[in-house]
């Protein structure tokens, strides 16, 4: 049984489709959707029923607003909640932009504000999972993934992992760019060194046949032009780094341009999605028999506009049609197939920073810090792989600083400490003023507590 916490969410049908398509790999008999919004649950129920009818079957679906009932008997739990909804996201974005700072969902002050209100809920969910489904694997989709996964791990130990599709998409595009099978890493035919935190990582090496092919890729203008990340940040910059950055590094490396681009728009990304999803749920509620085509139309618009402002500002052009990451839902299914279905995969996941030898995988961070690194997964569990190349001092300094901010936010969320919240915002690389940090922290705490 698969339980989805946040089961009324817009992207739930993607998960259901991926699970249904993978029934030969891992058989999920029932999908349970848990949400506190009964109307959204009903809409998702209609969409999934129409998907199942269209394809000739799929796992049965049960919806509930009762957390303990949703967890009882679960083999896998997907945690995909959005505390505060899209209204909370848009508030985070606008408060940061009003200070002249980056207004983005997971990166910078917006990510810290999101974490501050999400951690208490995530820890409550983790405690209930531990009580009601202690043998279940929890796969965390909830952003900001590094800090939320770390919060849940305090209660679930190694049975919770965080996932994101951007690192594996980067690896697969890089493999394709050098003429290799994009799935070579997944199957263990190529090795990668990728290190950092969620939405803050770099591909440091790409080895095939015992040779690192990344330097050749960085030197090849034509090959680099096929990579979303290089188009976004420029070939000269990725060559200067000697590594391929995750696309979210754009917000750190081109902060001024990112803020200007977002500020010039009539609406933030959160405002766009709030309006779009509001229209979808209203239309589907009015015409439930058309729920599936309405959802597909809204999804196509959502995907086409992802990071559109950033691409326009940087001159990166249109997003590549093929997303080799497969989407986070397909990453999650691969993970399930390994944990429960007897497969073995190499992946990049958010896990505690402890290797098989008991030492940190990512040097310079504690062993209990959740980091984003390559892992091997099978029925025995999730094992971080050793890194042959570590982050250079400048990269590591950024990661250490952001992890310190995450841990200060964890403390603030758990204890209510206004000082920890203030320090978290003040220390972040994307906040340039202690005074502004205090205003951001107070706004985030007031919104959470009000």
Q: What is the pLDDT of residues 9-55, one digit of tens each?
A: 999 999 999 999 888 888 899 999 999 999 999 999 999 999 999 88
CB 351 within 8 A of CB 390: no
Is the same domain home to 170 and 31? no
φ and ψ at residue 75, rounded to 5 degrees: -90, -35
Q: Please identify, among 345, 360, 392, the residue that sits at the C-terminal boundary of a domain.
A: 392
pLDDT at 321: 47
Is the same domain home to 339 and 246? yes
Is the same domain home to 114 and 195? no
Is the same domain home to 113 and 221? no
**Residue segments in the chain with a per-residue pLDDT below the cut of 50:** 321
pLDDT at 326: 58
Is the same domain home to 109 and 155? yes
d(CA 249, CA 338): 30
Q: What is the CATH number of the domain that holds 247?
A: 3.90.110.10
In a domain? residue 297: no
Distances (CA, A) of 222 to 86, 230, 250: 39, 11, 21
CB 246 within 8 A of CB 310: no
Domain that holds residue 124: 2-85+96-162
In a domain? residue 354: yes
Q: Please identify, among 162, 186, 220, the residue that sits at the C-terminal boundary of a domain.
A: 162
In a domain? residue 413: yes
Is the same domain home to 220 and 364? yes
d(CA 255, CA 32): 41
pLDDT at 317: 64
Is the same domain home to 105 and 132? yes
In a domain? residue 242: yes
pLDDT at 56: 81
Residue with tokens 């402890």: 354
pLDDT at 320: 57
d(CA 430, CA 254): 11
CB atoms within 10 A of CB 14: 17
Residue with tokens 């394809």: 55
Is the same domain home to 109 and 215? no
pLDDT at 312: 76
Tokens in use for 50? Answer: 């129409």
CB atoms within 10 A of CB 138: 25
CB 333 within 8 A of CB 345: no
Q: Count the domains in the chain.
A: 3
In a domain? residue 285: no
Is the same domain home to 195 and 80? no
β-strand pairing of 137-140 with 244-245: unpaired
Tokens in use for 9? Answer: 């969410």
pLDDT at 306: 75
Q: DSSP letter at 390? A: P
In a domain? residue 277: no
**H-type helices in 248-307, by residue range?**
250-253, 255-263, 269-286, 291-304
pLDDT at 163: 95
Q: What is the CATH number of the domain that holds 54?
A: 3.40.50.720
pLDDT at 324: 55
Is the same domain home to 51 and 151? yes
pLDDT at 316: 64
pLDDT in tens, 301-340: 888 877 767 767 777 666 654 555 557 788 889 999 999 9
Is the same domain home to 433 and 331? no
Strand, coil or helix: 397: helix
Is the same domain home to 55 and 147? yes
In a domain? residue 432: yes
Q: Please identify, among 126, 147, 162, the residue that sits at the C-terminal boundary of a domain.
A: 162
The strand pairing partners of 140, in sequence order, are 79, 162
Query: H or E stretch including 372?
Result: strand 370-378
């Amino acid at each position: 049984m698969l339980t989805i916490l946040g089961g009324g969410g817009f992207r739930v049908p993607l998960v259901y489709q991926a699970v249904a398509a993978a029934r030969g790999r891992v058989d999920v008999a029932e999908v349970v959707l848990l949400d506190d919004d009964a109307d959204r649950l009903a809409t998702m129920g209609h969409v999934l029923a129409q998907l199942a009818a269209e394809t000739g079957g799929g796992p049965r679906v049960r919806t509930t607003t009762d957390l303990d009932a949703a967890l009882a008997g679960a083999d896998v739990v997907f945690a995909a909640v959005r505390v505060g909804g899209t209204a909370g996201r848009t508030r985070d974005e606008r408060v940061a932009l009003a200070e002249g700072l980056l207004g983005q969902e997971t990166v910078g002050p917006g990510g810290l504000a999101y974490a501050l209100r999400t951690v208490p809920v995530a820890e409550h969910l983790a405690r209930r999972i531990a009580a009601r489904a202690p043998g279940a694997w929890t796969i965390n989709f909830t952003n900001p993934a590094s800090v939320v996964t770390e919060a849940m791990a305090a209660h679930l130990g190694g049975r919770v992992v965080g996932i994101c599709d951007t690192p594996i998409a980067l690896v697969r595009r890089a493999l394709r760019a050098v003429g290799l099978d994009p799935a070579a890493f997944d199957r263990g035919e190529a090795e990668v060194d990728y290190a950092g935190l969620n939405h803050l990582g770099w591909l440091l090496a790409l080895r095939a046949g015992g040779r690192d092919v990344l330097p050749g890729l960085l030197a090849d203008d034509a090959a680099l032009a096929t990579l979303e990340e290089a188009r976004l940040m420029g070939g000269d910059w990725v060559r200067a780094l000697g590594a391929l950055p995750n696309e979210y590094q754009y917000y750190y490396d081109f902060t001024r341009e990112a803020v200007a681009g977002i500020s010039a728009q009539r609406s933030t990304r959160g405002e766009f999605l709030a309006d779009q999803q509001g229209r979808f749920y209203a239309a589907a509620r009015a015409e439930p028999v058309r729920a599936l085509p309405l959802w597909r139309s809204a999804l196509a618009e959502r995907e086409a506009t992802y990071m559109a402002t950033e691409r326009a500002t940087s001159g990166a052009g249109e997003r590549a049609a093929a997303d080799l990451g497969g989407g986070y839902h397909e990453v999650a299914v691969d993970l399930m197939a390994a944990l429960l279905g007897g497969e073995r995969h190499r992946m990049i996941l958010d896990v505690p920073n402890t290797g098989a030898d008991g030492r940190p995988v990512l040097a310079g961070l504690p062993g209990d810090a959740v980091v984003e690194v390559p892992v091997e997964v099978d029925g025995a569990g999730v094992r971080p792989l050793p890194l042959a190349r570590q982050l250079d001092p400048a990269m590591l300094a950024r990661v250490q600083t952001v992890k310190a901010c995450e841990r200060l936010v964890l403390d603030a969320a758990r204890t209510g400490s206004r000082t920890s919240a203030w320090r978290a915002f003040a220390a972040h690389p994307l906040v340039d003023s202690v005074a502004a940090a205090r205003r951001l922290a107070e706004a985030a705490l007031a919104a959470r507590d009000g």
